[in-house]
Chains A and B, each alone.
Chain A
């Protein structure tokens, strides 16, 4: 188990380092930063002043090492646009994104696990096909469109939920549902496939031969083995929701990290962009590592001999 843990953590750190390098290099490939910071009316002399002031005249490697060194201590420099430390900008907005992502994941799991199990138990019946059709529709529906539909129905016509802002928990209901919708199809189908495979296995025949209750057969013996791929994908989906909620944050005017990234890209605020990419990547890596650890708990064979 310890060896497994060390191996997973080493891989996680390597991935994080790679992402850090890419984030740094890619922001610099998008053009001369000094020119864009100085603005459209700047003279050549102004640009040179900016270049010197921001340390952009130094060799790339020096700039990189400098950034990495400070990033490790949590210092991502100052935003060019907001004139505030990047770390506090992100810290301010992270709770919104985390709340949104977790809400989305919880809704997605609450919907897709029972649906997947039900579809598997009733394999090849009308119910199974309805579930699969719903999953297909969910997959095909663009999230901004679903977001607008919900806003019109529950926000404007029925007036049950607020349509924008982050004032209370109610603000997270609709965006959470929209985010969940992107994850539900994959999770449902994976649960269904896993359960079907599990239910057809020899150990389920044994469980039935032991006279166990239906609930125990389904939820203890079958689901535990079916859950392994679901956990892995759920972690990836959560990472996706945290990093990819830009559209949803826009639609519902939630000022989360996705919104911040979108603003900063438009304004060439590259310290912010770099930091957001890095933070999201680290969260992503942490999530997949966590999923691997959870799977090792679920399936003892993954822990090694």
Chain B
């Protein structure tokens, strides 16, 4: 079977001034959780929105290949894309408080997805919505269906968003920092729910996060993004055991790992912030913040293979 989602050398720029994504490549296999990690502003969300063709007007999207279930997405018309979205591929967002329409009930917003893509009757769609609300751990689904978003807490709204995304049994779920805006206890619940749904439904999931704790728990595969590039990609265990890119190493030093760090040793940090990169930028974007940087870092950076399915982008030798 073909790869679920293939992204090859994706480029996104805004008005020719900012290169938000620069040649990022990644692949999500069927039934696999692929985590996209990196600091704020490194192009994770833009990559996801580019895949869904939900970029704001004025954004330019280019790629060598962008395919879902073997079907090319680049040449697909707007209406062709709309038939896939919410149907075969679904997305949930970081902002559960504002992502639901305040003017319509939960039921209305959930059922319209099935009615649109499957031409289902209101009754069938309502039954499906109630089933899914129960499935995402919402008690009294019948009551919730008749309520408006402002009557629900943030955690409940995110559960509704998840249930809504599952209405048409998508094969791919893109989750853009789905727990960032929630309380810590709720974060854990939502994450457990997503991991369980992914397993039970055999979903391919592209999970965007900057939380390496989440990655360690749920990811099969990790891609690390920096300034619009995927700088390292590997299976989760491999990446945590043998990080090769200095940025990945820096990220891992910023998280406490039981058994690996000592009590008296301070946690690491990476000084500085992600630079805004202009189109036509040459070399490694991390060089300003990197301990290993030298003059060769402003040249062309090679991509190394460091074992099976482990790649990184750095001048340092494999």
**Chain A residue nearest to B113 in the complex (CB):** A210
CB contacts under 8 Å to B, within A184-224, are: 201-203, 205-214, 216, 221, 224
Taken together as a complex, chains A and B put the C-alpha atoms of A298 and B101 apart, in Å, by: 12
Given A300-B148, A300-B150, A210 and B85 touching (CB < 8 A)?
yes
Residue A167 CB within 8 A of the other chain: no
Q: Which residues of B contact A211 (CB under 8 A)?
A: 81-87, 113, 116-117
B268 at the interface (CB under 8 A from A): no
B54→A209 contact, CB < 8 A = yes
Which chain A positions have C-beta within 8 A of B52?
209
Alpha-carbon distance between A202 and B97 when the two chains are bound, in angstroms: 9
Bound state CA distance, A203 and B151, in angstroms?
A: 16
A92 beta carbon closer than 8 Å to chain B: no
Question: How many angstroms between the C-alpha atoms of A131 and B71 in the bound complex?
Answer: 41
In this complex, the interface size class of chain A, counting residues with CB under 8 Å from chain B, is 20 to 34
| CB of A301 closer than 8 Å to a CB of B | yes
Alpha-carbon distance A224/B95, docked complex (angstroms): 21
Is residue B218 contacting chain A, with contact meaning CB distance below 8 A?
A: no
Residues from chain A with a CB closer than 8 A to the CB of B84 are 211
The complex places the Cα of A211 from the Cα of B117 at a distance, in Å, of 8
| Also in contact, A212 and B86, with CB within 8 A (given A300-B150, A305-B151) | yes
Chain A positions within 8 Å of B190 at CB level: none
Chain A residues within 8 Å of B93, by CB: 202, 205-206, 209
Please state if B103 and A210 are interface contacts (CB–CB under 8 Å): no
B51 to chain A, nearest CB (A): 11
Contact B112 A212 (CB under 8 A): yes
Q: Is B86 a contact partner of A210 (Cβ separation < 8 A)?
A: yes
CB nearest neighbor in B for A221: B101
Q: Which of A206, A208, A213 contacts B100 (CB 8 A)?
A: A206
Q: Is the CB of B116 within 8 A of A205?
A: no
**Contact assessment for B116 and A225 in the assembled complex, using a CB-CB cutoff below 8 Å:** no
CA distance A156 to B81 in the complex (A): 56
- A contact residues around B70 at 8 Å (CB): none
* B113-A206 in contact (CB<8A): no
Greatest chain B CB density within 10 A among A203, A207, A305 is at A203
CB distance from A197 to the nearest CB of B (A): 12
Q: Mark B57-101, 1 if CB is under 8 A from A, else 0.
A: 000000000000000000000000111111100110101001111
Interface bits A288-305 vs B (CB < 8 Å: 1, else 0): 000000000011110001
Min CB distance A140 to B, Å, is 31
Please indicate the chain B residues that have their CB under 8 angstroms from the CB of A216 in the complex. 112, 116
Query: Could you tell me the distance in whole angstroms from the C-beta of B309 to the nearest C-beta in chain A?
Result: 30
Q: Is the CB of B164 within 8 A of A225?
A: no
Contact: B99 with A202, CB < 8 Å?
yes
Chain A residues with Cβ under 8 A from B90's Cβ? 209-210
A208 touches B98 (CB 8 A): no
Once the chains bind, are B103 and A225 in contact (CB under 8 Å)?
yes
Q: With A209-B54, A211-B116, A216-B112 given, is the CB distance from A203 to B100 under 8 Å?
A: yes
For residue A207, which residues in chain B have a CB less than 8 angstroms away from its CB?
101
Residues 155-186 of B, flagged 1 when their CB comes within 8 A of A and 0 if not, give 00000010010000000000000000000000
Known: A210-B113, A211-B84, A211-B116. A205 touches B54 (CB 8 A): yes
Cβ–Cβ contact A212 & B99, under 8 A: no
Q: Which residue on chain B has the smallest CB distance to residue A303? A: B148
Residues in B neighbouring A298, C-beta threshold 8 A: 103
Interface centre among A202, A210, A212, A216 (most CB of B within 10 A): A210
Would you call B102 an interface residue if the criterion is a C-beta within 8 Å of the partner chain's C-beta atoms?
yes
Distance in angstroms from B65 CB to nearest chain A CB is: 22
**Given the complex, which residues of B lie within 8 Å of A210, measured CB to CB?**
85-86, 90, 112-113, 116, 164
Name the residue on A nearest B52 (C-beta). A209
Nearest to A222 among chain B residues (CB) is: B101
Smallest Cβ-Cβ distance to A225: which chain B residue: B103
Q: How far is the CA of A4 from the CA of B250 in the complex (A)?
A: 56
From A208, A213, A225, give the contact of B101 (CB < 8 A): A225
Show 22 residue pairs from A and B whose CB-CB distance is below 8 angstroms, ordered by the A residue.
A202-B99, A205-B54, A205-B93, A206-B93, A207-B101, A208-B54, A209-B54, A209-B86, A209-B90, A209-B93, A210-B86, A210-B164, A211-B85, A211-B86, A211-B116, A212-B113, A221-B101, A221-B104, A225-B102, A225-B103, A299-B102, A301-B148
- In the A-B complex, the 7 residue pairs with the smallest Cβ-Cβ separation, listed nearest first, are A211-B85, A210-B86, A211-B86, A202-B98, A203-B101, A300-B148, A211-B82
Listed in ascending order, the chain A residues whose CB lies under 8 Å from chain B are: 201-203, 205-214, 216, 221, 224-225, 298-301, 305
Q: A202-B98, A212-B113, A301-B102 are in contact. List 15 more A-B contacts (CB 8 A).
A: A202-B93, A202-B99, A203-B99, A203-B101, A206-B161, A208-B82, A208-B85, A209-B52, A210-B90, A211-B81, A211-B87, A211-B113, A211-B116, A213-B82, A221-B101
